[in-house]
Each structure stands twice: as C-alpha cells, then as structure tokens.
Structure 1
Amino acid sequence: MRDRVISWLADNVPDSRLQHILRVEQMSIELASYHNLDVAKAAQAGLMHDLAKYFKPQVLLEMARSEGLELDPVDEANPHLLHAEVSALVARDRFGVQDEEILQAIRNHTLGRFGMSLLSCTVFLADSLEPGRGNSGELEALRQESRQNLYQAVWGTCDYSMKYLIETHRLIHPRTILTRNWAMQIASKKVLSGTA
C-alpha cells in the first residue's frame, strides 16, 4: 500500500510537501521504536498524515460537514486546520484504512487532542519536529525530549507552537490549549512520581 499512497501523494502535493511527509514517516518510525510502539502503524499514520493538505478550503469544510464533524469558529476561519481530520477520511475512504488508532493519529497530528494515544503523540511530534522544520536550539531540545518523554515533548511542542501563533497574531485553536494542558498534567505527575 505504501507505493500506492506515495504515487497518489506525488499527484496531489508538491514535491517539497512529499519530502516533509517522508521525513514525518521516518521520524514516526524512530519515535515508535524508542517508545516500544507499533512501528508499522506509526509509519502508516506518518505517511498519510497530510493526504488532504492541499485540498481547497471549501472542499475541507464540505467534507468535514458531510462527515458531521463539529467545527469550531477557528476551523471556520482557518479551514486548512481541517486537513488533519479530512486526511483521515481520505485514508479511510480512498485507501481502506480501518484501524481506528491509525485514523486517530492522522486526525490528531495538527492540533493534538485531550487523551490522545501514544501513537497519536508520536505522529503529532514527528510532524512538528521532523528535521526539515529547522535546527534551532529549541527544536533540538524538543527532539531530544521526544525520545525520552512523549508527554513532556507534546507539552513543549504546544508551547512552542502557541508562542509562534501569538508572535504572528494568529488564532489559537482551543484543542491546542486542551492538548497542552493535558500533556502538561501527565508530564508533571510523571516528573513528581519519578517515572518517565
């Protein structure tokens, strides 16, 4: 199936985006290995996370509405944020993906979600931290953290994203805040109890 997905992506996203997708796939595999998660699921979710990235805003809104997804006003103002949810629909409907954990990891890769699985955390982090995103000290520290504590890294990555959104005067989706607070609470408990 990987070849079919790559062939479809080659026709539907620019080469620069395809290269990003392949780096996310690779980092998802690496993080899944570090954390003893299902590497095949991580690879598939990483490969399919941006299937709908270049769908037109109206198409994203229509597909989300026809699926009965609850839309936040931030989604309405920024339909590109729906590409994660719609990518999961494309994975299901076009490529026959039925594994709910993979579909959830695709859905959650942009905004995260309160209570998301470790597989979702892995793809969320791989999308934000893959090597093509840059090599600042802050990103390198988050990459290192992602190999040691997924929750701590999700918390830090949300903080990093929100700082950027604030500095560039953009809307922050409520799910990003919920994801950040959830990950922070779990990471803080683990730190206090001495587990990783």
Structure 2
Amino acid sequence: MRDRVLAWLADNVPPPRLRHILGVEEMAVELAGHHGLDAEKAAQAGLMHDLAKYFKPQQLLGMAREEGLEIDSILEANPHLLHADVSAIVARDQFDVRDPEVLQAIRNHTLGQPAMSLLCCAVFVADSLEPSRGDTAELNAMRQVSRQNLYQAVWRTSDYSLGFLLETRQMIHPRTILTRNWALQLSALQGQTVKSLENRCISA
C-alpha cells in the first residue's frame, strides 16, 4: 500500500511537503520504537497524515459536513484546520484504512485531543519535530524529550505552536489548548510517579 500512497502524494502535494511527510513517517516509527508502540501503524499514520493538506477550503468543509463532523466558528473561518480530519476520510475511502488507531492518529495530528492514545501523541509530535522543521537548539531539545516522555513532548510542542500562533496573531482552536493542558497534567503526574518510585528505592 505504501507505494500506492506515495504515487498519490506525488500527484497531490508539492515536493517540499512530501519531504515533510516522509520525515513524519520516519520520526513516528522512531518514536514507536522508543515507546513500545506498533511501528507499522505509526508508519501508516505518518505517511497519510497530510493527504488532504492541499485540498481547497470548500472541499474540506464539504467533506467534513458530509462526514457529519461538528464545524465550529473557528473551523468555519479556517477550513485548513480540517485537513487532519479530512485526511483520515481519504485514508479510509481511498486506501481502505480501517484501523481505528491509525485513523485517529491521522485525525488528531494537528489540533490534538485530550486523552488521545500514545500513537496519536507520537504522530502529533513527529509532525512538529521531524528533521525538516529545523535544527535549532529548542527543536533538538524537544526531540530529545520526545524519546523519553511523549506527554511532555506533546505539551512542549503545543506551547511551541501556541507561541507562533500568538506571535502571528492567528486564531487558536480550543482543542489545542485542551490538548496542551491535558498533556501538561499527565506529564506532571508521570514525573511525580517516577520521583515516588525513586524515593522508595532510596529508602528500601
């Protein structure tokens, strides 16, 4: 199936976007290895996460409505934000992807979703941190974090994205903030658990 998807992408996205997509596929697989996730599912979701990236706004809105998705005022004003949901529709209808975990990871790669799976987290993070995104100290630090704690990587990449959106005065979808807060809370809880276990080992 990968060859079919690549052929479709070659006809529907420009070369720089294809490089990004391949980078997300590669990093999602790498993160799957670090966190004990299904590498094949990570690869599929990474490869197909941007299938609808270059669909026209009215096409995105039309397909989302036909699917019965809820379209709030922010999505109405910024249909591009629907490309993740619509990419999952294309993956299902064009390439017969039926695995709910893969479709969910595609669907959540842009805005995220509180309580999303670790596979979703891996693709969400890979979308922001794959190699072609840049080679700054900040990005490299987040890449290192992503190999150790996916929840921390989700909130840190969310903060990174929110900073850009605020600086450029763009609208922010509430799901981005909810995802950030959820991941921050889980990261803190995970850190407390690790510290508690370390203290037990010291006192034992």
Q: Same fold (TM over 0.5)?
A: yes
User: What SS is found at the alignment partner of 1:71?
Assistant: coil
Report the AA paired with residue 133 of structure 2. Answer: R
1:132 maps onto 2:104 in alignment:
no
Displacement of 1:107 after TM fit? Answer: 0.2
2:194 & 2:27 partners in 1: Cα distance? 27
Give the structure-1-normalised TM-score: 0.98
Deviations 1:120-164 (A, max 9, x none): 000000100001111111111110000000000001010110011
Structure 2 residue aligned with 1:12: 12
Identity of aligned residues (%): 68
After TM superposition, the structure 1 stretch with the greater mean CA deviation from structure 2, 129-138 or 90-99, is: 129-138
For the pair shown, which has the larger CA radius of gyration, 1 or 2?
Answer: 2
Instruction: Give ranges in structure 2 of 5+ residues lacking alignment.
Output: 198-204
Structure 2 residue aligned with 1:180: 180
1:72 & 1:194 partners in 2: Cα distance? 39
1:69 & 1:146 partners in 2: Cα distance? 31
Structure 2 residue aligned with 1:68: 68
- Once the two structures are superposed, the pairs formed by residues 99-118 of structure 1 within 5 Å of their partners are 99-118=99-118
2:71 & 2:177 partners in 1: Cα distance? 16
Report the AA paired with residue 170 of structure 2. Answer: R
Report the AA paired with residue 118 of structure 2. Answer: L
User: What SS is found at the alignment partner of 2:81?
Assistant: helix
- Once the two structures are superposed, the pairs formed by residues 91-102 of structure 1 within 5 Å of their partners are 91-102=91-102
2:188 & 2:34 partners in 1: Cα distance? 21
User: What SS is found at the alignment partner of 1:21?
Assistant: helix
Q: Spell out structure 1 runs of 4+ moving beyond 6 A.
A: none
